[in-house]
Structure 1
Amino acid sequence: MVKVAAAILVKDGRVLIAKRGADDKLAHKWEFPGGKIEPGETPEECLIREMREEFQVEIGVDGFFGESIYHYEHLTVHLLAYLARLEKGEPEPTGHAEFRWVTVDELAGYDFAPADVPLVEKLRN
């Protein structure tokens, strides 16, 4: 099982979502940005590192939001989501095809990776 941290990054009442590239196993699926938690790293440290690497921004992590476990064909993911805020910079994706700031109500219109779906539902409720 792979532990992954995801940021529910909120700015001006909107949430940041990112679309995976065409060469990814989950090609064209939307997700909350983040990444694999490295050995010895907390989920919060992982998010700060990943958002710096993937979006060139500095974030603050406010607290645990929720989790999801999903069994893909190629691996099982334990996704830990945290509420976060933008502290410095504007997102410039380095590993995603695109990104958007969307309202919670707009989340339903996007095709999310299966592990992210329970988090979308929790946000919408």
Structure 2
Amino acid sequence: MKFPVIPVSSGLIIQNNKVLIGLRSKSDNGGGLWEFPGGKIEIDESSEDAVIRELNEEIEIVVRKPKKIMQYLHRFKNLIYDISFFEVISFKGSIKKIVHDELEWVDLDSINNYNFISGDLLIIERLINEPGLVKGLE
């Protein structure tokens, strides 16, 4: 059986050796779970353009030079997500809570204390096991 593929982009926003995570709204799919901000890639949009747009829509920042650090396929129910993760170190604006119920800055020592959406678990494992994978997050 062939499953639909949904391309998405997420940003690992780094400041002071911490990464920003958001709690999905209870009214959304995966509500009550944590995630890295981002969303679906639109038709004829690159993964880089999508992460820039999504972070502007979700937390009102203007991202400068996101760097793709990982991409993988993740199956969830009858869908396959093609997820691109970007390191975001430079941006303009103040982070605002628009679509998430909560936003938190966390370090790698405490990130496993949060219940994440399944699509983010592999990147979290890599962040913990590969120090230096993301600049500014050791």
TM-score computed with the length of structure 2 as normaliser: 0.85
**Number of aligned pairs?**
125
Deviation, structure 1 residue 83: 0.5
Deviation, structure 1 residue 13: 1.0
* Contact 1:15–1:103 under 8 Å retained in 2: yes
* Contact 1:61–1:82 under 8 Å retained in 2: no
TM-score computed with the length of structure 1 as normaliser: 0.93
SS in 2 for 1:118: helix
Establish whether residue 56 from structure 1 lines up as the match of residue 60 from structure 2.
yes
Distance 1:121 1:13 in 2: 17
1:99 is matched with: 103
Establish whether residue 18 from structure 1 lines up as the match of residue 47 from structure 2.
no
Deviation, structure 1 residue 91: 1.2
Q: Which runs of 5+ in 2 are unaligned?
A: 130-138
Q: CA RMSD in A?
A: 1.3
Distance 1:16 1:109 in 2: 14
Alignment map for 1:22-41 (pairs within 5 Å) = 22-41=26-45
Larger Rg: 2
* Contact 2:13–2:89 under 8 Å retained in 1: yes
Q: Which runs of 5+ in 1 are unaligned?
A: none
Pick from 47, 69, 75 the counterpart of residue 79 of structure 2. 75
SS in 1 for 2:89: strand
Letter in 2 for 1:6: S
**Deviations, residues 28-56 of structure 1 (Å, cap 9, x unaligned):** 11111111111111111111111111101
State the percentage of identical aligned residues: 29
